[in-house]
Structure 1
Amino acid sequence: MANSFLHGTVHTASDDLQSAICSDPSLFALWQTLTPLGRNEFICWIEDAKQPKTRQRRIERTGQELFEGKKRPCCWAGCIHRTDKAPSRWQQAVLIDRKAKNGM
């Protein structure tokens, strides 16, 4: 199943995310139906976690949100790593400027 695991447009799903999604065939099927951009948003959201506990919580929440029918992570400004479009004003203010201000 790992060979057929679909990733995002910019990000590649980590082993822990792949393992969590592949552990449930229903969840895996939902993941595979997401668009590449949808998968990318979930992966970026998880990769943005600064603490392992937050990362694990986001991996678990990804499964819950997929079962709830969501196609993107709830309350996420979006991936700022895409090169095919400029960051929105909200992304600039919330993600980029805040990280620069905090020295990240």
Structure 2
Amino acid sequence: MDTKISGGLVHELPADLAKALVEQNVVSIWEELSAIGRNEFICWVESAKQDKTREKRILRATESLQEGKKRPCCWVGCIHRTDKKPSKWQQDVLIDKKPKALAK
């Protein structure tokens, strides 16, 4: 692969996701996304705790791109961005790891 594929705002493009973008012929769609959009997909893929989950997310990312989606479904956003403050939900659940309060 000689052509450089763009990464995200904060995250670099991982090799396995880059390979899938090429194999699924969605590089041009990827390049049309904003840096923030690419960043969201990359962070979502990289946040997987298991290899199996990561592989599923990579496949789902390429399918989402083919469907015209510009962000991963059901993703609250990258907590690694320094250009914006994390939302209260991100802070409570993703950063501080507090369990959600149960409804009474």
Taking structure 2 as the reference length, the TM-score comes to 0.87
Larger Rg: 2
Partner residue of 2:95? Answer: 96
CA offsets 1:21-58 (integer angstroms, 9 cap, x no match):
01133x11111110000000000000000000000000
In structure 1, how many angstroms separate the alpha carbons of the residues matched to 2:61 and 2:67? 10
Taking structure 1 as the reference length, the TM-score comes to 0.87
Unmatched tracts of structure 1, length 5 or more:
none
Partner residue of 1:70? Answer: 69
Structure 1 stretches of at least 4 aligned residues deviating more than 6 Å after TM superposition? none
Partner residue of 1:59? Answer: 58
In structure 2, how many angstroms separate the alpha carbons of the residues matched to 1:96 and 1:77? 12
Q: Which has the higher helix share?
A: 1
Amino acid at match of 2:5: F
Kept in 2, the 8 Å contact 1:7–1:40? The answer is: yes
Number of residue pairs aligned between Structure 1 and Structure 2:
99
Partner residue of 1:87? Answer: 86
Task: Provide the alpha-carbon RMSD of the alignment.
Answer: 1.5
Identity in percent: 55
SS of the equivalent of 1:4 reads: coil
